[in-house]
Each structure stands twice: as C-alpha cells, then as structure tokens.
Amino acid sequence: MLDQIRALYQSMPTKLAAARKKFGRPLTLTEKILVSHADNFETQVWERGKAQLLLRPDRVAMQDATAQMALLQFMQAGKKRVAVPSTVHCDHLIRAQSGAKPDIDRAIEENKEVYNFLRSAARKYGIGFWKPGAGIIHQVVLENYAFPGGLIIGTDSHTPNGGGLGMLAIGVGGADAGEVMAGLPWEVLHPKLIGVKLTGRLEGWTSPKDVILYLCGLLTVKGGTNKIVEYFGPGASTISATGKGTITNMGAELGATTSIFPFDEKMVAYLNLTERAELAKLAQTNRELLVADPEVLQAPEKYYDQIVEINLSELEPNVVGPHTPDLARPVSKLAAEAKEKGYPMQLTAALIGSCTNSSYEDISRAAHIARQGLKAGLKAKAHFLVTPGSERIYNTMIRDGFMKTFEEMGGTVLANACGPCIGQWKRDDVKQGEKNSIISSFNRNFPARNDGNAETLSFLSSPEVVTAMAFAGTLDFNPATGTLTTKDGTKIQFEPPRGEELPAKGFAKGEEGFEAPAENGDALKVEIPPTSERLALLEPFPRWDGRDFAKLPILLKARGKCTTDHISPAGPWLKFRGHLDKISDNMFLGATNAFTGETGKVTNALTGEAGQTPTKVARQYKAQGVGSIVIGDENYGEGSSREHAAMSPRFLGVKAVLTKSFARIHETNLKKQGILPLTFAAPSDYEKFEEKDRVSVTGLANLAPGKPVEVVIHKASGQEIKIQAHHSMTAQQIGWFKAGSALNALN
Ligand code: MIC
Ligand code: SF4
C-alpha cells in the first residue's frame, strides 16, 4: 500500500503544475486530489457544478448490506479479479440485543449464507474481507486504509469519515463500486466547493460533533448537494484526526459529496498510533501536496464558491432533531423548545458510539462524565447503550477501564457494529406506536430509523452530552449548567468533560478479523445456495422499448421527507439485501402518501382499492404489464447509498421519478438502474398531481443532455395539463436509460 501512495505523491507535482497552468490560479486541496486522480487530465473538462469528472479511485470499500448488490453486479461484468484494492466489512447485519459476544455469535449463525457469499466472493476476486465483529467500515478504513491525498469510494454514505485523514472519501451506490472494481473510471458531477474557515479552539462541553451539528442547522440537509466541504484555518489543526472524522462523516447529512481537512500534525499522531509511521513520514515530506496552496488560504473567497466561518471558541454544544439532522439548536435552548413543542421529556434511551463518534477521545470524554456521575452515586436513568466502532477501540476501552465505568452506570456495551444505528436494535421497553424520546451520538435520526417506531423522537448530540443526559433521564437538562440530585439529596453539577485524544499506551489489539484473498481465485466458487431466501443472482433489467411512457398511474405521490429509509427501510429488511424480489416487499413502506396522509399505503388506480402497500399495487401493475411513476418532494432519496431504493422501484415497474429535487447518490442510483429521474421545471407543479391522474412522459426518443422533457397530466375529467421537467443525464447516462441499466450498457 505504501508503494501505491508513494507513486501517487511522486506523480502529483507535475499534475498540479499542469493544473495551475490550465486554471491560471492556485489550487484548493480538493482540486489537488481531483486533478491527481483524473482519468485523463488533458481531455477532462473542469467546470464546477457542470462537468462530469472521470476519476480513478485508489480503493473501494463496501459494507455487508450494500456489498451484496455491489458484488452481484460486479460478477455480471465477468472479470477475474478486482482492478483496484477493495475490502468488504461485516458490520451492518449484526443485531444489537444482549451485548457484544452473544450478538456476534448470533449474527454469524443468522447471516451464515450472506457471510459465506461475501467471504467466497472476496476470496475469489481478490478483495480483503473483514469478519463480523472487526468493526464498522468507516472506523476500520480510518485505522487501516485512509491516507492524506487519497481518493476512496465506498458503498455507504458515511464513507466521508476518511476526510478526517485528509482524503476525498465518497459514498456511492453498489453499481458505481462494481464498475470501478471492474476497471472503469468513476464518474461524478464536478462538485462546487464550500470553504469552512475554522478559528479558535473547542472548549468545555463543545466537541467536534458540534461543528457539524451547527453546520447542519445552518446549511440544511440539501445545502451540501453536489458540493465538497473543505475545512481550513487555524482552528482546523486544533481538532484531533478522529474529531475531524466525526465532522466529515456527518457531512453526509448535508448531502455533501464529501468533506475534507488539510493534512496536519494531528493526522501524523493518529497515523503513528495506528502503526503507520512510515506513511506519516511520507506525508510529512509531501506536505505541500496535501494542503491548499498558500494563496488560497490568504484569499479563500476567490477560490471557494461559498464560505462559512466558525469560531470554535464561541460554538456551543448542540442538539439536533427530532426526525431530521438539520433541526439544530444549542443544548441550552432545548428545554424551552421541547416544552413548547410537546416533545416527551423523559428519555427512554441514550446511545453513544457508532461510526460517527466512537474514537478514544469520544469514549474517554464520555467516561469522564460517567465517572463523575458514579462518584456521586448516580446511575443512568435511561437505557444506556455503547457501540464501539472497532475491535481496537473495544479492546482499548476494556484495558483502560471505560467499559467497566459504563457498565457500572447501568450501560450495555454492544458489538463493534452498526446495531441500533441502522435499526438492528431489539427493543422491548417501548411498544410500537408509543411516543417517546431518545438521544444518541449517531448521525441519522429519520423516523423509525433506530427502533422501527416512527413515534420515537430521536435527537443527536455529542457522546459526552448524551452520557450526561443518560444520568438526567430527561430532555430538559443542560449538562453545562443543570444540577442533578443524588440519593442523599445533595445537588451535583458536572465538570466539563475531559478526555485524551489518543490512548497514551497505544491501542490494545484484539482479534483484528482480516482475511486476505486467495492469490489466484480462478478455481474458487462463489457460494450462493440455489434455494436461498437471502441471495439471488440478478437478472438484467429489460431494455427501454423505444416508446414514450403513456398514461402511467401514479404509484405514489410522496409528501415531505422521503429518504432512502422511507423508500427502502432497513432494520428487519436488512436480511434481504441480497435478494431483490424479497426486499422489494418493503418498497415505500415509510413514505407519506400526499393524497391521504397515510404512511406506506396507496390506492390501486386500476381497481380503486385503497389502503394497499405500494409493493402489492406495483406487483399487480407489473403482472398486467403496466408501469408507473412516482412523484416526490424536496431532496428525494436523502440519506443512504442503498441502491435497493432504486432497484426495487425499477424491478416493480416504476419508469420515472419526478421530484422537486434529488439527493446526489440516489439520483445516480436511479440513473444506473434505468429509471428516469426528473425534476419539475416549476416546483409548484408538484401540486397539480391528483390521485386519479395518469401521467405521460413524451419525447423520450429525443432525450438529450440539458433538454427538458414534456410531462402530460391526464385528469380524470379528460383535461390535459402539460408541464416541463428537467433531467441531469449526460449522453452516456441516456445510454444507460436506453440499455435498461448502466450494467446492460456495459455488456
Ligand atoms: C446508513 O447509515 O443509512 C447506512 C445503513 O449505513 C447506509 C447504507 C445502507 O443502507 O446499507 C448508508 O449510509 O449508505
Ligand atoms: Fe453503520 Fe450507522 Fe455508520 Fe451507517 S451511520 S455506517 S448504519 S454506524
């Protein structure tokens, strides 16, 4: 790996010089990395917000829930071995129930078929395999593979976690990953750049998490779409590498393509402690390649499309939620707001850890709060769950006594896996449909995300705030100023959290859980039992038949937030991620029907039967050879990279999705799977669609980049309304549509 990085650094000066010359100006860090990973610098067009970039990533990472489709698609390309270094990480499929050890044992049993498939495919095709229990993909990547100046793509939207080590780490759908592994360049819209200037220094209760929570409130969940957030300024180098990772990780909640920090001494310290001293040295000698040019820092407004300034010294600890990560406020304002809005005050659960926040620094600061509470004789009043991010963190937590502290306060330490963050949480303290509040240090809080209950109000904050809240057991507690009463009636106030950025004794190691692939996998077989309920080989989607879409029924008109968690819920459905037909039963179960206000229920336009699941109706249409259209609101497909949110609709006959706007990864996933993603030329046209309407999309034979298409709304009365819709497809992407999918276009 070091050789690969050395070769990259060696190649950079010439490429950067060529770019400075061509652009006629100095370069931002993002541009340095994009330019040095261009498939062909000379022929590439470099217009931000307009050009499609063709890039050559250094690696691919996949987690078990998305790797199944990524590998099934890669297999369709018929290659012998992956073209770029790649890894699979088993983390999402582990259910959190009784604690680390029993949960892993159960997961290995429950997911045997899927793990065998992933392991056998990894061995055969030259992919590294991280066993269940080895840790959450983003932590394992940070500890082992991330490096300053690199470009990695990962089949998970929080891949940007790697930005904490100064790389462009970008979340993609499985089809993108499959193509890159098959040797093709990776395509992405040239992002615009948001420069975030950090000054001051984090103090007291304020932590890296607050930087991103604050930004979520400021920029909203759409604010980063097709943009890269590049941090700079004197404040940046005061934040630990893992703290930077928290910030870049959750840049996904802004919809950003990714986020990145410039190389600095904090990264050196982290690389050294994760046994990559040579890499740290190499990066140090190439420092000027791994930070923005000095002129950029002197006049950033000239080089970034948008600038935000944050003084870390003035930043307050924040809490966001419920139901969306951009509903932000300082924790000091939460009590009043919760009262006013009638949020249930009592906290039923407090959860720390996850891929976003389980560094040594996070855990040691949380443990410092925990120790103070214990000393005063307090115990957690809410269920307290801890999810370590990796095997190293887990073992270091045991060695340094944090585990014991959390257990003493009444906490449960779960497996190194996604667990409750992805709805793999077996909760029996709250009934379905019961309104209740929870708080976590995770990154997502869509309705039903954690426990499958849409009535759970989920708030997000830093691990130290969450730990203090666990002691208080109520939402209206401000850890910085509030007091808690001990058994003997005395009142205590927490001292601000203190922790260490990195373990003084180094990381304790457990079983690392890595399995290398076979040297030559030609003779090996990929294990897919023919009768499997969990895995099925993919059938190519049919090609476009050359005809316009005529009078399609509206399968769903979604109102409000329609994230990938609404389109293709996770939790119990995760087990079908390798079986397209079976997982499609979950299609749109979380979406709000704009016509009726119901969740996950639609009317069959052919029979008039109301209250049906979208999948049932779509299957009936499909059986009769009828396609359908989906109408969506703003930022449709926000959230995850899961391409099931595009594949299920495609599989069940959805021809087009027409929305006010799309989230980046989902829009690409729709294109890749052969669905037409359209946006209203006039967003208010959204209102024109009624339940009994039929919709035509015309002029498809003349689809061309930048050319709007016509949509006709056929009213039940016979009236016709014509509106215009835009698409963002390039000529190549139109080719995918015509071929039926990107994969069909390859073959
Ligand atoms: C998520 O946080 O939503 C997930 C689960 O990690 C997803 C991937 C998936 O759905 O498998 C993501 O963020 O891409
Ligand atoms: Fe796992 Fe949650 Fe991180 Fe997604 S956000 S990778 S589900 S821990």
CB 165 within 8 Å of CB 267: yes
DSSP conformational letter for 251: G
What is the bridge-based pairing of β-strands 654-659 and 628-631?
parallel
Residue 444 CA: nearest ligand 1 atom is 2
Amino acid in position 418: C
**If you measure from the C-alpha of residue 440 to the centroid of ligand 2, how many angstroms do you get, rounded to a whole number?**
12
Gap between the Cα atoms of 96 and 420, Å rounded: 6
Q: Is the CB of 641 under 6 A from ligand 1?
A: yes
CB 552 within 8 Å of CB 695: yes
Residue 389 CA: nearest ligand 2 atom is 8
Q: Is the CB of 417 under 6 A from ligand 2?
A: no
**If you measure from the C-alpha of residue 640 to the centroid of ligand 1, how many angstroms do you get, rounded to a whole number?**
5
| pLDDT score of 371 | 98
| pLDDT score of 235 | 98
Catalytic machinery residues: 91-92, 156, 444, 640, 642
Residue 155 CA: nearest ligand 1 atom is 14
Half-sphere exposure of 156 (CA within 13 A, CB side): 31
| pLDDT score of 99 | 81
CB atoms within 10 A of CB 548: 14
Q: Is the CB of 574 under 6 A from ligand 1?
A: no
Query: In this structure, which residue's CA is closest to atom 1 in ligand 2?
Result: 418
DSSP conformational letter for 109: H
| pLDDT score of 14 | 97
Query: Which residues in the chain come in under a pLDDT of 70?
Result: none
Gap between the Cα atoms of 178 and 155, Å rounded: 10
- Alpha-carbon dihedral 156, 161, 167, 171, rounded to 10 degrees: 20
Gap between the Cα atoms of 255 and 241, Å rounded: 22
DSSP conformational letter for 285: H
Output helix, strand, coil percentages for the chain, rounded to the nearest 5. 35, 20, 45
**If you measure from the C-alpha of residue 563 to the centroid of ligand 1, how many angstroms do you get, rounded to a whole number?**
11
| pLDDT score of 426 | 83
Spatial CB neighbours of 717, under 8 Å, sequence gap ≥ 6: none
DSSP conformational letter for 551: E
Gap between the Cα atoms of 133 and 100, Å rounded: 8
**If you measure from the C-alpha of residue 3 to the centroid of ligand 2, how many angstroms do you get, rounded to a whole number?**
31
Half-sphere exposure of 687 (CA within 13 A, CB side): 3
Q: Is the CB of 156 under 6 A from ligand 2?
A: yes
Q: Is the CB of 583 under 6 A from ligand 1?
A: no
For a mutational test of ligand 2's pocket, the pick from 92, 95, 450, 568, i.e. the residue with the most ligand atoms closer than 8 A to its C-beta, is: 92
| Segment (H or E) for 130 | strand 128-130
Q: Is the CB of 158 under 6 A from ligand 1?
A: yes
**If you measure from the C-alpha of residue 160 to the centroid of ligand 1, how many angstroms do you get, rounded to a whole number?**
13
Nearest Cα to Cα of residue 44 among 69, 18, 80, 75: 18
Q: Is the CB of 93 under 6 A from ligand 2?
A: no
Residue 443 CA: nearest ligand 2 atom is 5
Q: Is the CB of 65 under 6 A from ligand 2?
A: no
Q: Is the CB of 141 under 6 A from ligand 2?
A: no
CB atoms within 10 A of CB 176: 29
pLDDT digits (tens, 9 = 90+) for 449-500: 999 999 999 999 999 999 999 999 999 999 999 999 999 999 999 999 999 9
Spatial CB neighbours of 321, under 8 Å, sequence gap ≥ 6: 327, 445, 457, 458, 459, 460
Query: In this structure, which residue's CA is closest to atom 9 in ligand 1?
Result: 642
**pTM of the entire predicted model:** 0.96
299, with CB counted inside 10 A (0-12, 13-18, 19+), is exposed
| pLDDT score of 293 | 98
**If you measure from the C-alpha of residue 156 to the centroid of ligand 1, how many angstroms do you get, rounded to a whole number?**
5
Helices (H) and strands (E) in the chain — how many of each? 24, 28
Nearest Cα to Cα of residue 209 among 322, 370, 82, 353: 353
**If you measure from the C-alpha of residue 422 to the centroid of ligand 1, how many angstroms do you get, rounded to a whole number?**
7
Q: Is the CB of 58 under 6 A from ligand 2?
A: no
CB 173 within 8 Å of CB 672: yes
Gap between the Cα atoms of 25 and 116, Å rounded: 52
